[in-house]
Structure 1
């Protein structure tokens, strides 16, 4: 607790003087055991025409969990704090929850007591605590890319036991799945990432390749990946953690029924090393990424029945070649945190090396079937084609927002809707309204249910099927 005050004058004491407070209760949203909270602020007002002093102390047995600081001096019991006439002070409070081996959230309470003359007043302090499994970095490695060196602090995961949902999992640094290991994350798991943290599938600090991640969420009990700041202010803030990174050589990765939100990059998949897709994603929501929703770098990725939205750069980057298939996906990018200059979809088949030379990486395929691509820019698809390489792509039964000068009378565009509104009924979850042109516009595929389990009798475009 930090209290600021001004010059002392007209001081009166030993009276029944009342203070006024900005809040009668300070509540801390769920805090993981052993991790400090954000700082909360309480304003204390002196509405009198004279200066007063007050004593401040924490009352209960939980006093050791709460931290106070007055004029730079720490301590839970402070005396003779000056509040000038018709002025106020700011009180800043933090809390740390002790581990309890309790799988369910629990409450910690105390009171902040103000003794002013003969008057005693208090403000309630309430904090919700939650035990968790902690995966904390205990070593580091360097990745060198040209002249740049990036240091990663990481922890090798024990993958012998699947992750269950009895307690949240909190990751500090990068959790690494070693080659020849498979991490299974079962339904209902809540994964919380600290700032600059993530999951590395495969170990980039070893020559050996491999490593697999299986996320087994189910409808109604999804696996959630998010930042570790649980206060309400952070619930939709992007960039709170880094990414889930499928490093070169990781294999047979699958994500089913997940919510991935508020990071820098949702899913990052590198070059494939066998004939199977690097990554399969089904029935998944990726949103509020400060950078990219799905980044493929010469990868092989399949995505079905998924919603990707609100990304500061690309929602999908099919970069430096690869194979990509998207079926019944909704890409909706109305990013409003700052100015976005990059379109939602990037298709690319080359890169510039550190030596300044151009290197071709064939885009073998980038197929979009029964998809919606919409956003706030006038064109939401970027084509970066070096004609020395392969550049294969197709939009089949899709609603697209693209440059109107692009020629769509060719085999790359099959029965598309161009530059018309998808008419979402709710721009927060991207269901279709009853008048949407995307209704019944799709073609039949092997995807017979939508992301909510509704039957696709006459397929609508995107991840949601309208149910009348």
Structure 2
């Protein structure tokens, strides 16, 4: 074993950077590889130093500790160092920086690798109770948090959701311009409470141009920027009415918006000037809902951009549906129109599709045909495509598409 005064170590990087981390929430694990390119074995002391060293955690080849001595690196070999950080809450509303060094002392040779972490305080909405969901002989705990809707959400700090945040019937959650909503894996927003018999609940999203409201996963590392399926959905439960979403960006979830059956003539959802993208499942799933959308873009969804399912009333004006999904093989079209479902007893139940109107819309994607019709003739199945650009296979039955360039109407 030699501990040469001139022994120099080499590193996989000179700086370990942690993207924005929410206070009190641990980071992902970063890896630093330390190489010994010398022809002899080397022993080195490794220490976390700096004012913020207590926030960082170090593990060297499975041994935890922020100050480790006589770490042996064989000649022409390497070791792995695993690093994490947790940010303490502070009074800052704006992001702040923690900076430290990982110091290597090999004889008289001192080298260091910089550690940089960006911290951000947040409003946390964490599941603190549960209800039981019984499915046959299976019972599942559903963890959620009842929101205090008396105070609108503001953009002073990000809002982080763990589990499901629930808007109780009779309450309205208002989310004002510029809010950033981060949802953990398997988390979502439920408008309505599945554990009460009272329907209702409303969400109002008040984004504006250049100060949108954003819904996305809570993994802020650059690798997760466009990864779908990081959180669940915004779910408008049965009976939820008069929901409005204006100037929002909804991305990287399973289902962007899931709107269930309305119990009266009030609209389930009005959505304007919004982008929904990178959904592992569906952009907008309507189930007997009443949805009106204008100037909205839905793109890159693993199944449907929009599923107008089990009937309902739908109006899309000046909307773009561009489904160029590239994470897996997609065999479902951008648009689904459907007016029935199969019950647990195997019977078919019809629900009227009162209207599905597409006005001045673009329906594009990677499939040869991007519209699917699933009709039961016993019920209403009304649709209109007026001055729309639609991706269709030229070999399709063109009877129903005869005047596609200008309009396509069936009533």
Give the TM interval when normalised to the shorter protein. over 0.9
The answer to whether 1:350 aligns with 2:350 is no
Paired residue total: 408
Q: Distance in 1 between matches of 2:260 and 2:254?
A: 16
In 2 relative to 1, CA 201–169 (structure 1 residues): closer, same or farther, beyond 3 Å? same
Q: Distance in 1 between matches of 2:138 and 2:374?
A: 25
In 2 relative to 1, CA 374–146 (structure 1 residues): closer, same or farther, beyond 3 Å? farther
Counterpart of 2:69 in structure 1 is 79
Deviations, residues 387-432 of structure 1 (Å, cap 9, x unaligned): 22211111110001124344455599554499xxxxxxxxxxxxxx
Unaligned stretches of 5+ residues in structure 1:
1-10, 419-468
Q: Distance in 2 between matches of 1:155 and 1:368?
A: 37
Q: 1:52 aligns with which of 29, 42, 47?
A: 42
Query: What SS class does the counterpart of residue 314 from structure 2 fall into?
Result: strand
Counterpart of 2:157 in structure 1 is 167
Counterpart of 1:311 in structure 2 is 301
In 2 relative to 1, CA 413–141 (structure 1 residues): closer, same or farther, beyond 3 Å? farther
Q: Distance in 2 between matches of 1:150 and 1:352?
A: 24
Deviations, residues 299-333 of structure 1 (Å, cap 9, x unaligned): 11111000000000110000111111100000001
* 1:195 shift after superposition: 0.5
Counterpart of 1:42 in structure 2 is 32
2:177/2:212 contact within 8 Å kept: yes
Query: What SS class does the counterpart of residue 54 from structure 2 fall into?
Result: helix
Counterpart of 1:158 in structure 2 is 148
Superposition RMSD in Å: 1.7
Q: Distance in 1 between matches of 2:229 and 2:9?
A: 40
In 2 relative to 1, CA 319–376 (structure 1 residues): closer, same or farther, beyond 3 Å? same
* 1:146 shift after superposition: 6.3
Counterpart of 2:123 in structure 1 is 133
Counterpart of 1:246 in structure 2 is 236
TM-score by length of 2: 0.96
Query: What SS class does the counterpart of residue 39 from structure 2 fall into?
Result: coil
Q: 1:289 aligns with which of 274, 279, 283?
A: 279
Counterpart of 1:22 in structure 2 is 12
Query: What SS class does the counterpart of residue 64 from structure 1 fall into?
Result: helix
Deviations, residues 224-280 of structure 1 (Å, cap 9, x unaligned): 000001111110000000000000010100000000000000000000112121001
In 2 relative to 1, CA 150–327 (structure 1 residues): closer, same or farther, beyond 3 Å? farther
Q: Distance in 1 between matches of 2:191 and 2:27?
A: 30
Deviations, residues 28-63 of structure 1 (Å, cap 9, x unaligned): 111000111111111111110111111111011211
Counterpart of 2:248 in structure 1 is 258
Counterpart of 2:211 in structure 1 is 221
Counterpart of 1:443 in structure 2 is none
Q: Distance in 2 between matches of 1:40 and 1:70?
A: 12
